[in-house]
Amino acid sequence: MKLLQTLTEYFAIARLQRDMAAFFPAFKDQKFWLDRLKAIDNNVQSAHNSSHILQFLIAILKLDPAVQGCIVEAGAYKGGGTSKISLFSKHVNRRLIVFDSFEGLPENEEPHMNSTEGHTIKDWFKGGNFAGSLAEVRSNVERYGNIDVCEFMPGWFEQTMPLFNKPVALAYLDVDLASSARTCLKYIYPLLSKGGAIFSQDGDFPLVIEVLKDESFWMNEVRCNNLPIIENLGKKITIIRKP
């Protein structure tokens, strides 16, 4: 099983790197970007698979300049994903807004067991897990990413997101808990520009899937007139778009 996962990840990365290379025709540019991503993987403790976040980085490269708004990351941990996303945000000249408690997951009683892709996630999401301080994240982004495009929004999503009201072109949610995913969707989806998208790294967690499938959540809490288009539900990466 482990070998199969390693091979699947290896081939996914190779395919995505080839897709990314299409945006950088010169070999020296391809090498430059791959070296920078590798430096982050080698030096910053991360909770993402390279192939998952690469899908989002390619979406940044593909983003139509006519789609208004900033890029949002919810769930930074030590800033590995933040560093990568900041480099690509800079390349396409967009601001990156980073939401996190900077003290790990909130206390919760969510009974996570297995992902739909067959991994155990039991006991992964206890309060305080995945903690990275703002100082740690800043320092990693300063070193490996681009700090100039970043704006940090420290605090619990439930407190910081209701105060945020800028248009969003793309968002990357890696927040583990169904309650956190719910809050992010409730406040970020209404700000999403048409043509933009929300990528969730948690769309293979059954409790998060319940939220994504809950029509009454979308209609009554998010106050949508129409249900969103959801691609790849039950898989990493799940993508949410406006119809």
Ligand X SMILES: C[S@@+](CC[C@H](N)C(=O)[O-])C[C@H]1O[C@@H](n2cnc3c(N)ncnc32)[C@H](O)[C@@H]1O
Q: Which of 15, 17, 10, 178 is nearest to 109 (CA)?
A: 178
Residues in the interface with ligand X (CB under 6 A) total 22
User: What residues contact 7, with CB distance under 8 A and at least 6 apart?
Assistant: none
Compare residues 68 and 137 and give the one whose CB is closer to ligand X. Answer: 137
Least separation in angstroms between residue 57's CB and ligand X is 12
For ligand X, which residue of 81, 145, 196, 203 counts as binding (CB under 6 A)? 81
Least separation in angstroms between residue 219's CB and ligand X is 23
Q: Which two structure tokens, joined as six digits, stand for 225?
A: 């007139």
For ligand X, which residue of 176, 189, 209, 238 counts as binding (CB under 6 A)? 176
Q: Which of 227, 225, 174 is nearest to 203 (CA)?
A: 174
Q: Which two structure tokens, joined as six digits, stand for 227?
A: 């249900």
- Reduced 3-state DSSP string for 149-181: HEEEEECCHHHHHHHCCCCEEEEEECCCCHHHH
Q: Does 39 bind ligand X (CB under 6 A)?
A: no
Backbone angles phi, psi at 164, to 5 degrees: -95, 135
For ligand X, which residue of 20, 51, 54, 100 counts as binding (CB under 6 A)? 100
Least separation in angstroms between residue 46's CB and ligand X is 4
Q: Does 203 bind ligand X (CB under 6 A)?
A: no
Least separation in angstroms between residue 157's CB and ligand X is 4
For ligand X, which residue of 130, 187, 189, 218 counts as binding (CB under 6 A)? 130
Q: In whole angstroms, how far apart are CA 217 and each of 138, 201, 212, 220?
A: 34, 20, 8, 6
Q: Does 202 bind ligand X (CB under 6 A)?
A: no
For ligand X, which residue of 144, 152, 157, 199 counts as binding (CB under 6 A)? 157
Q: Which of 241, 242, 235, 240 is nearest to 51 (CA)?
A: 235
Least separation in angstroms between residue 25's CB and ligand X is 29
Compare residues 59 and 76 and give the one whose CB is closer to ligand X. Answer: 76
Q: Does 48 bind ligand X (CB under 6 A)?
A: yes
Sheet containing strand 70-74, edge to edge, reads 150-154, 96-100, 70-74, 168-173, 192-200, 238-241, 229-231
Residues binding ligand X (CB under 6 A): 46-48, 75-77, 80-81, 100-101, 104-106, 130, 132, 156-157, 174-177, 180
